Amino acid sequence: MENIDWKSLPFAYFKTDYNVRCYYRNGKWGKIETSSSEYINIHMAATCLHYGQEAFEGMKAFRGEDGKIRIFRWEENAKRMQRSADGIMMAEVPAEIFKKSIVKAIRLNTKHIPPFGEGAALYLRPLLIGSGPQVGVKPADEYLFLVFVSPVGPYFKEGFSPVKVQISRDYDRAAPRGTGSIKVGGNYAAGMKAGKRAHDEGFATVLFLDSKEQKYLDEAGPANFFAIKGNTYVTPKSDSILPSITNMSLMTLAEDMGYKVERRPITADELSEFDEVGACGTAAVISPIKLINDRDTGKNYEYCKDGKAGPVSTKLYNRLKAIQEGTAEDKFGWNYIVE
Ligand code: PLP
Ligand code: COI
């Protein structure tokens, strides 16, 4: 085992031993290759560099108390990456290649999987790029699918402690009928200015509004938004947010735990009616939100008045984590056991 301070791992790049690559050339996918280089050699006119033909996924592998390595709902990530590829006209990675590649990347880097109970996980980053050259705006003929891994701690440094987020109206992340619902790099570039300013002003992330009317809540930076109102789990329905696999799982768990689940447009005005609010995603897991600042009106919405996550968010967090780490029954068949 590596001499790593797992408990203080940030959510950041960490060099591991190997990554896995597969090329699409002449209309077909090739062999899955292993590399120990952190670099890729691509054509200077590759479409990923010029025209944004790039999509990625984010998933985690967990070491359980029983020593087993589990990955959570990989099929959903594989499907989402196919949707992303289709959305920006890239070659789709077949599910079998996706699965073999992530499993291989995990097995080659087992010494970097954080031990159980350290609050860390092995983050998997599948990446698909247009690697073939074009100067005219059209799809590449060649693609590279790559998976690297990195042991990580919580995305927001606060972990499961409540964070502050900011609503602003001068930057949009994604347009309706644009690329907001797929996981392409351009969405993240578009959100960087608002995100950086929010950080500089003391907030963990931005809570984006829908860009058409600026009336409804969209999502919270690299995570979906959810709220608890009495006995109901509420989360935005919007064409410009990423369908989060964590959120989808929380909706199932909430229902299973006897809560009502609503997926519907949520106006910013409703923020004053919620008992608990949070951000959810692979990287963020559940990040409870203690304050939402509306930068334009100056209005603050406050939650977690005792400084702690609310009871429903806590229950959901514990149940999700227990399934992922194998300490609770995998009732919905979400885990794939690598070894
Ligand atoms: N929304 C955005 C914009 C994201 O980048 C992510 C992270 O993948 C999520 C939501 C959460 O999705 P998931 O739960 O599938 O990780
Ligand atoms: C994830 O939650 O896995 C993500 O991909 C978020 C990422 C942009 C850091």
136-158 residue pLDDT tens? 999 999 999 999 999 999 888 77
β strands within 161-222, DSSP E: 163-167, 205-209, 217-220
> Half-sphere exposure of residue 105, counting CA atoms within 13 Å on the CB side?
30
pLDDT at 157: 78
Do 50 and 127 fall into the same domain?
Answer: yes
Q: Where does residue 245 rank: exposed (0-12), middle (13-18), buried (19+ CB within 10 A)?
A: buried
pLDDT at 159: 78
Residue 60 has pLDDT above 60, yes or no: yes
213-253 residue pLDDT tens? 999 999 999 999 999 999 999 999 999 999 999 999 999 99
Query: Could you say which of 152, 172, 194 is where a domain stops?
Result: 152
Do 126 and 173 fall into the same domain?
Answer: no
Residue closest via CA to ligand 1's atom 5 equals 222
Total domains, the chain = 2
Do 23 and 127 fall into the same domain?
Answer: yes
CATH of the domain at 305: 3.20.10.10
Query: Could you say which of 125, 152, 179 is where a domain stops?
Result: 152
Task: Tell me whether residue 211 is in a domain.
Answer: yes
Give yes or no: 68 in active site: no
pTM, rounded to two decimals: 0.97
> Half-sphere exposure of residue 18, counting CA atoms within 13 Å on the CB side?
17
Do 189 and 318 fall into the same domain?
Answer: yes
CA of 1 to the centre of ligand 1 (A): 30
* Other CB atoms within 10 Å distance of the CB of residue 151: 22
160-193 residue pLDDT tens? 889 999 999 999 999 989 999 999 999 999 999 9
- Lowest-confidence pick of 3-7, 13-17, 220-224: 3-7
Task: Please give the C-alpha separations between residue 5 and each of 8, 23, 49, 76, 301, in angstroms, as whole numbers.
Answer: 6, 35, 36, 31, 36
Contact 245, 272 (CB under 8 A): no
Residue 1 has pLDDT above 60, yes or no: no
Task: Tell me whether residue 117 is in a domain.
Answer: yes
Q: In terms of residue numbers, what domain contains 57?
A: 6-152
Task: Tell me whether residue 105 is in a domain.
Answer: yes
Best residue among 246, 287, 321 to mutate for probing ligand 1's pocket (most ligand atoms within 8 Å of CB) is 246
CA of 94 to the centre of ligand 1 (A): 21
CB 59 near ligand 1, within 6 Å: no
Contact 119, 40 (CB under 8 A): no
For residue 276, give the 3-state DSSP assignment.
strand
Best residue among 11, 81, 244, 250 to mutate for probing ligand 1's pocket (most ligand atoms within 8 Å of CB) is 244
pLDDT at 326: 95
pLDDT at 110: 96
CB 186 near ligand 1, within 6 Å: no
Best residue among 80, 155, 280 to mutate for probing ligand 2's pocket (most ligand atoms within 8 Å of CB) is 155
61-80 residue pLDDT tens? 999 999 999 999 999 999 99
CATH of the domain at 117: 3.30.470.10
Task: Tell me whether residue 304 is in a domain.
Answer: yes
Task: Tell me whether residue 338 is in a domain.
Answer: no
CB 167 near ligand 1, within 6 Å: no
To 5 degrees, how large is the angle CA 67–CA 70–CA 74?
170
CB 222 near ligand 1, within 6 Å: yes
Task: Tell me whether residue 1 is in a domain.
Answer: no
- Chain-wide mean pLDDT for the chain? 96
Task: Tell me whether residue 130 is in a domain.
Answer: yes
Task: Tell me whether residue 194 is in a domain.
Answer: yes
Do 101 and 227 fall into the same domain?
Answer: no
For residue 94, give the 3-state DSSP assignment.
coil
At 2, the pLDDT band (50, 70, 90 cuts) reads low
CB 52 near ligand 2, within 6 Å: no
* Other CB atoms within 10 Å distance of the CB of residue 22: 22
CB 282 near ligand 2, within 6 Å: yes
Do 132 and 223 fall into the same domain?
Answer: no
Do 45 and 107 fall into the same domain?
Answer: yes
Do 223 and 118 fall into the same domain?
Answer: no
Do 173 and 67 fall into the same domain?
Answer: no
- Counting residues of the chain whose pLDDT is more than 70, the rounded percentage is 99
Do 90 and 223 fall into the same domain?
Answer: no
Query: Could you say which of 110, 125, 152 is where a domain stops?
Result: 152
* Other CB atoms within 10 Å distance of the CB of residue 6: 18
Do 136 and 191 fall into the same domain?
Answer: no
Ligand 2 atom closest to the Cα of residue 183 is 5
Do 62 and 192 fall into the same domain?
Answer: no
- Counting residues of the chain whose pLDDT is more than 90, the rounded percentage is 95
Helices (H), 165-303: 185-200, 245-256
